[in-house]
Structure 1
Amino acid sequence: MGSEVVGASGVRIGVRIGGERDRPALVFVHGWAQSARVWDTQFADPALRERFRLIAPDLRGHGESEAPETGYDDPETWAADLAAVLDLAGGDAVVIGWSYGGLVIADYLRVHGTRGLAGVVFAGAITEIGRGRPGGKIGPAMVGALPAALSDDLDVALPALASLAKGMAHRPIPGALSQALLGASLAVPPAVRTALFRRDAGNADVLAAVDVPALVIHGTDDAVVDVTAGEYTAGKIAGASARWLRGVGHLPFVEAADEFDTTLRAFAEQALEER
């Protein structure tokens, strides 16, 4: 089921909703040049659908959301967008950020703290961005795709984005999924793909202030976001739990879906009980 909320500056944010309406919410935040469709496996999981309300926004400039010209370099903007989604969730939610989605969560934490959050999960995520930022260290698949993946010239961008889509997984995944990842990237305007990288943000202080349960789950063979970025995040949040998935790449919720969903469900249930 699709819905929408109004984010910063009146921008319309598309939202995917599943599961049981009267249950506590899991809010899934996707990554750079992707969409809420990456969470298909979680939305199809009966155990998650029966226990939780599942909510997945499209980031501004992505998927079904509007693509304004500005705002992509402003943590206040990302924080307001996520706040609007959390208002839709109602009550405290467990929010899960994948890849760039982890940075969006960090933006929210910087502006709002842990208001409205029962717990936070960083899945193959960055929490910082900029040269030399350890919480934003990228792997060879992303390094190899930049800067060509930002180009507005299809002949330049297409090979880079195709290589990146192929490099996301370490374990075999269906070819249709790789093509869907590529399609989602191409659907994001080049100007938006570029703008998301036009930032420099360190968040050690933000992570140190987290006072709700936190989980870092990261594939040891992630070629897009280096596993050391996950280690950095886990080390900065007092009491954070960490799950390192051996032989898994940048798509832990697909490559190791059963383990990912089981781990997420157990974490979320415990976090919600502690509220």
Structure 2
Amino acid sequence: MPTLPVCSMPGPVIKECVSSDGTRIYADATGNPQGQSIVFVHGFALSGIVFDNLFADERMLQNFHLVRYDMRGYGRSGKPKEASAYTSALFAADFAAVMKEFSLSKPVLVGWSAGASIIADICAYISPCPLSGIITISGAVCPATAPKTFLPKLLGFFEAFLSQDATTALTARPAFVDALFNDPSKVSTEFKTALIGTTVAATPEIIAAIHTGHKPGECQDALLELGAKGLPVMALYGTEDTLQSGAHLMCTYNPPY
């Protein structure tokens, strides 16, 4: 990959983006404003801090304009309590608000786990499609197929996170964070503690509202149509991942030569 000319890169820019319903969406950006914009969206119960290491990587900072935001209901963004505040149209509006605040043009979207679910929302409710490419990490590109990727351990965490029993809900959170890593003993206590704190902010009530209100599988036709027209997509799954598996989504292609 060619390296862009060295330029004076501004420090992180933090913004509160106001979505169409007034919900405030936390976002920040760093890196090279002249480079390709990449928007990172975190996974279930977490926040944009999961990308801290990427946002401190000098190679990334020199070559790309890096943007991340906390989805509504999570992290530092607004947390409406009603299921009606978590529709696909509103998740798309959040993305549009972030694009507007940072003046983004045709970014690549990187969605990790639940962060991949909003891709269908964006394609259905923002026209023309604002994305130049899609990368999913342990997340189904088409939301209707997502349940095929869930492993029993992840389903157990979902149930525990929804529990009204404080001991069950709180005990599950550090165990969930450990399960995000192949070897959690090699991850700093400070980083894991920050992630655990983020999961605590995702209360059972908020998670239930998101689960009830967000139905991205119902609006994936636009995504499938864009894919058929050549929208670039890369789907990545970890072979040692204990929470999700892409095995059911993989197929083998034998070229005719």
What residue is the counterpart of 1:193 in the other structure?
207
What residue is the counterpart of 1:208 in the other structure?
224
Is the CA contact 1:162–1:182 (under 8 Å) kept in the aligned structure 2? yes
Deviation, 1:161, is 1.9
Q: Distance in 1 between matches of 2:22 and 2:86?
A: 17
Count of paired positions: 231
Computing the radius of gyration over CA atoms, which structure comes out larger, 1 or 2?
A: 2
What residue is the counterpart of 1:148 in the other structure?
160
Structure 2, unmatched stretches of 5+, are 1-11
What residue is the counterpart of 1:228 in the other structure?
247
What residue is the counterpart of 1:166 in the other structure?
178
Deviation, 1:221, is 2.3
What residue is the counterpart of 2:4 in the other structure?
none
What residue is the counterpart of 2:137 in the other structure?
123
Using the size of structure 1 for normalisation, the TM-score is: 0.75
Query: Are the structure 2 counterparts of residues 73 and 62 from structure 1 closer, same or farther at C-alpha, using a change threshold of 3 Å?
Result: closer
Q: Which digits, 9 at most, give the CA deviation of each residue in 1:144-195, with x for residues without a partner?
A: 2231212343212011222221212224441423333222101223221222
Is the CA contact 1:126–1:225 (under 8 Å) kept in the aligned structure 2? no
Query: Are the structure 2 counterparts of residues 60 and 84 from structure 1 closer, same or farther at C-alpha, using a change threshold of 3 Å?
Result: same
What residue is the counterpart of 1:76 in the other structure?
89
Deviation, 1:22, is 3.3
Q: Distance in 2 between matches of 1:224 and 1:39?
A: 19
Q: Give the aligned CA root-mean-square deviation in angstroms.
A: 2.4
Q: What fraction of aligned residue pairs are identical, expressed as a percent?
A: 28
Using the size of structure 2 for normalisation, the TM-score is: 0.80
Q: Distance in 1 between matches of 2:224 and 2:142?
A: 13
Is the CA contact 1:16–1:56 (under 8 Å) kept in the aligned structure 2? yes
Deviation, 1:8, is 2.9
Query: Are the structure 2 counterparts of residues 206 and 169 from structure 1 closer, same or farther at C-alpha, using a change threshold of 3 Å?
Result: farther
Mapped pair 1:46 → 2:58: yes
Q: Matched residue of 1:146: which SS? A: helix
Q: Distance in 1 between matches of 2:210 and 2:34?
A: 35
Q: Matched residue of 1:221: which SS? A: coil
